[in-house]
Amino acid sequence: MSLFDIRPGIVESHEDDFRIEIMPEEAKLHGLFSALSTDYARLIKERILVKINCPKNYKIRDFQVLSAIYSSSKTMTASDVYRGTGLDPATVTRSVKLLKDNGHLDVEENEADTRSRFLVKTQKGEDLANSYGEACADVFVPNSETSPFLINDKELKAVTSMLIMLRQRVNVLRQICT
């Protein structure tokens, strides 16, 4: 049972007869975010990644990096990608290496800063990014089958605003607690 499975006002009984009546709010929030993350990843894997022709070893994070690079109008560095996606720098580095090794991305020297490299788009990468985008649109763009389940633009803006606010608060708390 996950934290998300416990609802306020519901008493859960366990084998050792331990009872949970009401969980602290932060535990509920953590459980909700964990469940949302798991459900979202499952949706991407089951409905989107199966539709596109990509190497079997690609993970969702690789498509996050790919999408960030291909949706940008400017040439990006790995630092730009991790700041934009919120992924860990080491994760972005691994994804960039995988994308480069599979021909979905090239890397060029940055003459202005020898510590960074430019991530250069390739035709093969653009084709994969487009396939991924189209598969996402099939799932997330409202149609007659999914419309009741998707959020509209106003709801999306409200949710995004709240999540940004929560992220800022968590970052402030991290700074205070260190």
Mean per-residue pLDDT of the chain: 82
**How many beta carbons lie within 10 A of that of residue 132, not counting itself?**
22
Write down the pLDDT at residue 62. 94
56-62 LR contacts (CB < 8 Å, sep 24+): 57/98, 58/98, 61/87, 61/91, 61/95, 62/95, 62/98, 62/99
Instruction: With CA atoms as reference, report the closest residue to 10 among 2, 25, 21.
Output: 21
Report which of residues 13 and 108 the model is more confident about. Answer: 108
b/e per residue, 22-43, with b = 16+ CB within 10 A? Answer: ebeeeebeebeeeeeeeeeeee
Query: Helices 89-101 and 78-85: crossing angle, nearest 10°?
Result: 120
Q: What tens digit of pLDDT does each residue of 44-86 get?
A: 888 888 888 777 889 999 999 999 999 998 999 999 999 988 8
The token duo for 37 is: 């993350």
Percent with pLDDT over 70 in the chain: 83
The helix (run of H) or strand (run of E) holding residue 42 is: helix 25-43
The region that residue 103 occupies, defined by phi over 0 for left and psi between -120 and 50 for alpha, beta otherwise, is: left
pLDDT single digits (tens) 8-27:
444 444 444 444 445 577 77
Tell me, what's the pLDDT at 154?
86
Q: Helix, strand or coil for residue 145?
A: coil
Residue range 165-170: mean pLDDT, rounded: 86
Q: In terms of pLDDT, which residue wins out, 149 or 109?
A: 109
Residue 36, pLDDT above cutoff 70: yes
* CA neighbours closer than 13 Å in the CB half-sphere of residue 161: 6
**What distances in angstroms separate CA 146 from CA 47, 55, 161, one per listed residue?**
13, 28, 24
SS3 1: coil
